[in-house]
Structure 1
Amino acid sequence: MRDLRNGPARLLVVDDNKVNRLLLTRSLELQGHSVASAENGRVALEMLQREGFDLVLLDMEMPEMDGFQVLERLVHDRKLRDLPVIVTSSLEGVSNVVRCIELGAEDYLTKPVNPVLLKARIGASLEKKRLRDQQTELVRRFATPEVAQDLQDSGFSLGGKLVHASVMFSDIRGFTSLAESQPPEETIELLNTYYALMFNAISGHGGVVTLMMGDGLMSVFGAPVPLSDHGESAVRAAQEMVELIDLFNLEREAEKKPPIKIGIGIASGEMVAGYTGTNQRATYTCIGDTVNLAARLETHTKVAQRAILIDQATRAALSEHVEVEPLGQVPFKGKAAPVDVFSVGLEQKL
């Protein structure tokens, strides 16, 4: 995201009239902007796909691809649909103006364009883009890229939809005792390192972290973005998480700090995924029996003395290359019948 408060904005002038292009480009460069130009809509779209621009000044009547066609392509392009476009055209009539605005144009100026008015409209459009980019960056900072993209694509609304996915719960064993034995600053540093390692493993296998609570993490594989092999992806992520903690413990040992261990529970099946809370404060999460089972499995890792536990549905989704040990049936609170539990070994390196 370009910071429009520092340095020139990058503008694209699209006009089939060479004289108009040159004059408008010169005028905009004198205002301090960096300007490129295209002689028709087709060339403009190719440039927009290759380069980053902050605003487009678009003529309507052009050969090969006119301005209306360009706007239609932009509005359906996820990457370019929020790019501000100011139409500069000799076409008159309210119907043309309305059509351009409906197709996403920021503004419509009739040729010959008043330079003072154009400067003001460009400034206003760039400021709105800056604020929109700033808002997007804030969303991406406090939400995962997948959730941020879901918000951008579908908009925000409380509620959820039924999905088939895998849920993972994980936490640090004995974290409370560890936190009490060291300064708070050291605990925060440990958590930040732990989060960085776990997020890398989870996101690297298509997972989305939906909840952080102290040392505990909840992740989902298969929502909001569908994932065909969500069960195996979750297990592969869990194996990598354990391996990363083992490597991290080598550093802690060198610093004469106690090692840490994690427990991970994974369950697969149907659940409801969506936004819960209020219109002022909400979070993306998953609920349902599958989610509850994953939490129970994570808690049971302490009893089973295993790092990774999974249910039968996850076990059924795994390839033969994943080492699995059946631990028998375990009765869990809230479950009418005992659950088949399996332990997963670490990934074998070739």
Structure 2
Amino acid sequence: MTGRARVLIVDDDATNRDLLVRMLERHGLATAVAEDGDQALRMVAGQRFDLVLLDIIMPGMSGHEVLGRLKGDDALRHLPVIVISSLDDLESTTACIELGAEDYLLRPFNSTILRARIDASLERKRLYDEEAAVRRRLEAFNEELEVRVQEATAELHRRLRELTGMIDVARSIISVLELDSLLAGIMRLSKEVMNAEASSLLLADPETRSLRFHVATGAAGKAIEGHTVRFGQGIAGYVAETGESVLIADAYEDPRFDPGFDRLSGFRTRSILTVPLRTTEGIVGVVQVMNKIGRESFDVHDLELFESFASMAGISLHNARLFERLRRMADDLRVALEKERWLSIEKEKMRAYIPRNVVDEISRNREQKLALGGKIVDATVLFADIQGFTRLSERLPPQQIVGFLNEYMTAMTCLIEAEGGIIDKFMGDGIMAIFLPRDAGDNHALRAVRAGLRMQDGLKTLKEGWHERRPEIAELTARIGVNTGEMVAGNVGSETRMDYTVIGDNVNLASRIESNGRGGEVHVSGAVHRLVAGHVAAHPLGSISVKNRIQPVQVYSVSGLSEAGRQ
């Protein structure tokens, strides 16, 4: 609804009409009046109104009939109607409401109530108009979208037809060895793909500087096969002489066009595409298509596509070389695909021996030689070791030891990786894991401590199963030590054999904390404790002396996670 709302007052009493007109215009509304039902219906049919105030008792057509006509018209049924009548009759009131009136007010009416009813009705009308406008826009959008989808679908079908034609041409070049059959097949396909009425291929004779119609398709093709054209004669001769591709929308308007062949064949050329046929020897002929089916002329896209066909036709003249090239390409592709498949398999195998991030780095830089060296990182290291494993290995057969270790290492690895840790190496019954920072705010020390606690819980779960199956190992415990700080991460070793690992004083300290630890517990350094203090329950164990460090190192035993540490 734009501008002032328009209200139509329908009443045979001039006094009533004037009263309502003054009141509504003071209220900021535009008004129009009708003295009877017939006039009202004519006015709403030709003008826009936002509300009708309708009297019931009028000469000629009654208000009930007017209301019924309005609500029975699909174009007007949403126009709100308020009935204002002196007829205080329940039956009349009910009839009006059932016919679709917004309200029924008795005269004399309260002007405040009437204005409220009018405002409410106009608001509903405004909302309806807005909804209708949105609906119309959606319908228009859907119609436009449908047109675009149809156009896009038609374009896709066109491109698919072109692609299919290109594939068929490639197959023809591979499968047909006889030159005439090969070129005839290419021109037939070009006619189909270009959606043209006719096509032709002219081969050049450098000695006579002429072109000969070698292949001609279409209704009049047979009539011109074998005929010759001099270089420079007509459009085909022009292309052979200059090497330029030509797109002509109206052949008879181009002075280069020779209508002699139209007279010879009875064919009427409208639009024409002509492109040179090239090989390594130069221009060896000309190919052309005539009259785009369903369109007035060809376009630039058609020209580009046809030039591709011409390139294939040129290649076909040297089919033996093409066969060899295609075979080499196919062989190379098979080798490349097989190599890629093999690399994918090997990559998965490598992940069982090498940290995942190292495998990914090797994969990303497979063309580069791996280099020794590293960089300083702030990270956390976890060492885990089975207490009493040496004595156990002396008592059990090697196969049982390997089976037990595999079960244990698999379970521990899953728990470490679940916290984002990287298995650096397995050392007999020992595990070394690295927790690198994920981002600037990552508490990698907390992730390492959580992993250690989960490993102790996981070992308890394993031992419950071992009580029945392997009682000799059911009482084993593990020591776990964790330290954090700066260390060097990178490739360490030789040019022919290297490991990705972390080294440094902080790594050594983590190993020393583990070796001095107690079975079944997670021991951490003071540096780790400072980073996880609000997230774990821990108590100090005292200090240990570490080689190459002047001050003893404070060690803590972590017994569990606080609520914050579990998040």
Instruction: Give the TM-score normalised by structure 1.
Output: 0.65
**Normalized per residue, which structure has more helix?**
2
The 1:176/1:125 distance shift into structure 2, 3 A limit, reads same
Match of 1:6 in 2: none
Give yes or no for the alignment of 1:18 onto 2:163. Answer: yes
The 1:22/1:286 distance shift into structure 2, 3 A limit, reads same
The 1:121/1:150 distance shift into structure 2, 3 A limit, reads closer
Q: Report if the CA contact (8 A) 2:382-2:510 is conserved.
A: yes
Residue identity in the other structure for 1:193: E
- Structure 1 Cα separation of the partners of residues 328 and 558 of structure 2: 67
- Post-superposition CA distance 1:7-55 (Å, at most 9, x none): xxxxxxxx8742256548989xx9xxxxxxxxxxxxxxxxxxxxxxxxx
Match of 2:385 in 1: 171
Q: Report if the CA contact (8 A) 1:243-1:346 is conserved.
A: no
Equivalent of 2:360, from 133, 149, 155? 149
Q: Specify the SS of the correspondent of 1:206.
A: coil
Percent identity, aligned pairs only, is 31
Runs of 4+ aligned residues of structure 1 deviating over 3 Å after TM superposition are 20-27, 110-118, 346-350
- Cα root mean square deviation, aligned: 3.0
Shift of 1:237: 0.4
Residue identity in the other structure for 2:535: H
The 1:122/1:153 distance shift into structure 2, 3 A limit, reads closer
Match of 2:446 in 1: 232
Q: Which segments of 5 or more consecutive residues in structure 1 lack a partner in the other structure? A: 1-14, 31-91, 94-109
- Structure 2 Cα separation of the partners of residues 337 and 306 of structure 1: 27
Match of 1:322 in 2: 536
Shift of 1:141: 3.1
Instruction: Give the TM-score normalised by structure 2.
Output: 0.41
Residue identity in the other structure for 2:458: L
Match of 1:12 in 2: none
Shift of 1:322: 1.2
134-143 or 235-244, which moves further after superposition?
134-143
Q: Specify the SS of the correspondent of 1:141.
A: coil
Match of 2:296 in 1: none
Q: Report if the CA contact (8 A) 2:480-2:522 is conserved.
A: yes
Q: Specify the SS of the correspondent of 1:180.
A: helix
Q: Report if the CA contact (8 A) 2:477-2:520 is conserved.
A: no
- Post-superposition CA distance 1:212-246 (Å, at most 9, x none): 111011111007x6682210010010011000000
334-343 or 111-120, which moves further after superposition?
111-120
- Structure 1 Cα separation of the partners of residues 376 and 170 of structure 2: 52
Match of 1:187 in 2: 401
Give yes or no for the alignment of 1:127 onto 2:338. Answer: yes
- Post-superposition CA distance 1:151-181 (Å, at most 9, x none): 2335521111000000111110000011112
Match of 1:217 in 2: 431
Match of 1:282 in 2: 498
Give yes or no for the alignment of 1:265 onto 2:481. Answer: yes
Equivalent of 1:140, from 330, 351, 369? 351
Residue identity in the other structure for 1:285: T
Residue identity in the other structure for 2:531: A
The higher radius of gyration belongs to: 2
Residue identity in the other structure for 2:336: S
- Structure 1 Cα separation of the partners of residues 354 and 171 of structure 2: 42
1:197-208 aligned within 5 A:
197-208=411-422
Residue identity in the other structure for 1:219: A
Equivalent of 2:466, from 234, 252, 260? 252
- Structure 1 Cα separation of the partners of residues 170 and 448 of structure 2: 52
- Structure 2 Cα separation of the partners of residues 334 and 200 of structure 1: 34
Q: Specify the SS of the correspondent of 1:301.
A: coil
> Which of 1 and 2 has higher RCO (CA within 8 Å, sep 6+)?
1
Q: Which segments of 5 or more consecutive residues in structure 2 lack a partner in the other structure? A: 1-158, 176-278, 281-310, 316-321
Residue identity in the other structure for 1:201: L
The number of residues matched between the two structures is 254
Give yes or no for the alignment of 1:242 onto 2:456. Answer: yes
Shift of 1:260: 1.3
Shift of 1:313: 1.4
Q: Report if the CA contact (8 A) 1:232-1:319 is conserved.
A: no
Q: Report if the CA contact (8 A) 2:456-2:520 is conserved.
A: no
Q: Specify the SS of the correspondent of 1:200.
A: helix
Shift of 1:247: 0.4
